[in-house]
Every structure is written in C-alpha cells, then in structure tokens.
Homo-oligomer: A and B are copies of this chain.
C-alpha cells in the first residue's frame, strides 16, 4: 500500500474555457494504491465544491479524509487493486492554483483577476495531471456532486480518456432551483462589507456572509425528513445571550450554527465564489446543442448513476435523465436510486447504502457493514 501527497505544475500557459489564461497552474493531489504495469487500474475522483484532495487517510496524513470509509484496503475503492487519484480542483484553495494563489505574472494574489472558472477548466487541469502521471486511459472517473459534472466535462472533452464513469448525486447541468440557491449564497458573501469586492483582508474575511452561505448550503444538502426525525421541535440549551430577542431557540438552529462555525474558517471566499459559479455554468447540452447530441459524443464502456430520492439540490429526476442518456449510448449503463433520508449529503454520511453499490460496480469484496 503506497500513499502520497503531491503536486504537479502544468508548465506554460493554461487556456481557460471561457477565455483568458493563467500561467503554469499547480494541482495538488493525493494517491492511494499503486499503478499496475499495464497502467490500466487508475480511478480518478472528482470531489464536490469544498473538499480537498484528502479523500482518505494515508501514512503521510493519517487524518480521516472526506470519503474515508469508501477508499482503502478491501473497501469499495480497493487500494490493493486500484490506483486511486484525487485532485484538488483548479480554483480551490487546498494546494491547487485558484483565486487565492499568487499570480506569478504580477506577484500578487489573483483575487478577482482570476479568469472565469468553468468545470471544463477543472477537468482539463485534472487531465493534465493524469497525463503527467503517465496514464493513457483511466479505469474509471468517479464524480460526486459538482464533481459529477466535472467528470462529465472530463469525459466529453477527452473522449477515450476513461473507460467507465460513475456519477454520484450529480446531473447534466444545474436547474434553476439550484442556481437560485447558489446565486443567493454568493450574494451573501458579496454583500458582506468585509468582502470588499474580493479584496478582503485574509485575517478579517467576510465570515458573516460565509456563515450565512454555509447555513443555506446545509439546508439544501440535507433533507426535511431527516431533520423532522432528528430535531423535531427540540429546544437548544445554553445558546444565545439573555438580552438577545432573537437568540437561538431550537436545536436545528443550534446545529446550523455549529456547522457554519466549523466550515467557514477553512475555505477562501473568492475560491468559493468561483467554484459555485462554475457549478451553475456547466451544461452538458452545450456539446452539440442538446443533451442527446452530447451523450453521443461520449466514448464510455460502462456507467453508473447513483442518486438519492431526498436530494433537493440534484433531484432524483435528474439522476434518471442522466442514466437514460447514458443508456442510449453505453451498453452497460446502470441507475441506482437510494432511499437515504440525508438528502444530497447522503454520499458522505450513508456509507452503508453507498458502499455496496460501488463495491458491485468495481467488483470489490466489501467488508460487511457494522
């Protein structure tokens, strides 16, 4: 079992999908397992908007990763058989080049001088890393949430670069409900006076707007069903000042507050804005003018679409649309609808539901669930 935390710099001008270019972007990535001699056992994982490349623990970084229970020896993504790669998205802030990075041409932080980011750019940068690792064709691309759309961008921009594709709680493109939510989240950050049109003091970021955005995120990442059973009308204890007319009263408010506190320290606000915007912009139908035409451009042998019935951000009918599109052009196209109650976030927290599905797909022998 080998593991590594690395980065690769793509030397030269990197042209951006919507125009402009950046100089020699760096991509942080982590790997687990080893590339076999034929070089055909690599699986590339695209994360959602906020995670780093640290999808699982490793000797170099024993802290739990964001998909810890999915990647490992004998797990669904079995590192004894596969070479697993996770790349921090271009535009993010965990080692990869993005709006919070120094622009080598000016010596200053990019901030809003960073060109418009699209998921095509995230996919193209990842493709550069995969090529640099000497991999001609991936065994599979696995994309979760935003990462599913990045994965679609990867497959359609680089036909033949992967044999299989797994989309988890993602879609061909964002619908207006999700666009509205993300647009409002961005507005929350942009209207925080401390954002200063992107020129915030790193020691005094627009934390108020970021916290509001995170709370709205949590409302759309989970489900009303889950919260009904988990919180009901339970009261919070010991919250708020006694003089505060609108202090926290219910447990669900306290939960959101805790989640927002936990998140907002770690993520650069400008990077968040760029990646959120990129999620709105992606549209598979731009390839050929319709979804049907776009699907025909794909060169995949096997696909799996996994979705959750309580997901309001990437709803189940979008899972069906994606799976139906694959079924038109791929011999082995599977759809799995899961009844998890934790909404969009289920793929991060309902391992007992997701693990068997991915074990099946990757022909792994998963440990029994606890």
A positions within 8 Å CB-CB of B: 112, 116, 173-177, 179-181, 183-184, 186-188, 190-191, 193, 198, 208, 212, 215-216, 218-219, 224, 227-228, 230-233, 245-246, 248-253, 256, 273, 277, 280-281, 283, 312, 315
Q: Closest 5 CB pairs between A and B?
A: A177-B224, A176-B252, A176-B227, A176-B231, A183-B253
Is the pair B112, A245 in contact by a Cβ cutoff of 8 Å?
Answer: yes
Q: In whole angstroms, what is the CA distance A290 to B175 when docked?
A: 40
20 contacts between A and B (CB under 8 A): A175-B233, A176-B251, A177-B227, A179-B250, A179-B252, A180-B252, A183-B248, A184-B212, A184-B216, A187-B215, A188-B212, A190-B246, A191-B208, A191-B212, A233-B283, A245-B273, A246-B273, A249-B280, A249-B281, A312-B312
Q: In whole angstroms, what is the CA distance A72 to B249 when docked?
A: 42
Is the pair B256, A180 in contact by a Cβ cutoff of 8 Å?
Answer: yes
Q: Which residues of B contact A232 (CB under 8 A)?
A: 175-176
Q: In whole angstroms, what is the CA distance A277 to B249 when docked?
A: 10
Q: In whole angstroms, what is the CA distance A315 to B228 when docked?
A: 12
Q: Which residues of B contact A230 (CB under 8 A)?
A: 176
Q: In whole angstroms, what is the CA distance A249 to B280 when docked?
A: 9
Is the pair A219, B181 in contact by a Cβ cutoff of 8 Å?
Answer: yes
Identity of the chain B residue whose Cβ is nearest the Cβ of A191 in the assembled complex? B208
Partner of A179, one of B181, B218, B245, B253: B253
Q: In whole angstroms, what is the CA distance A228 to B321 when docked?
A: 14
Having A180-B215, A250-B280, one finds 19 other A-B pairs with CB under 8 Å, namely: A175-B233, A176-B232, A176-B233, A176-B252, A177-B228, A179-B233, A180-B218, A183-B248, A183-B252, A184-B215, A184-B256, A187-B215, A188-B188, A188-B212, A191-B212, A233-B283, A245-B273, A249-B281, A312-B312
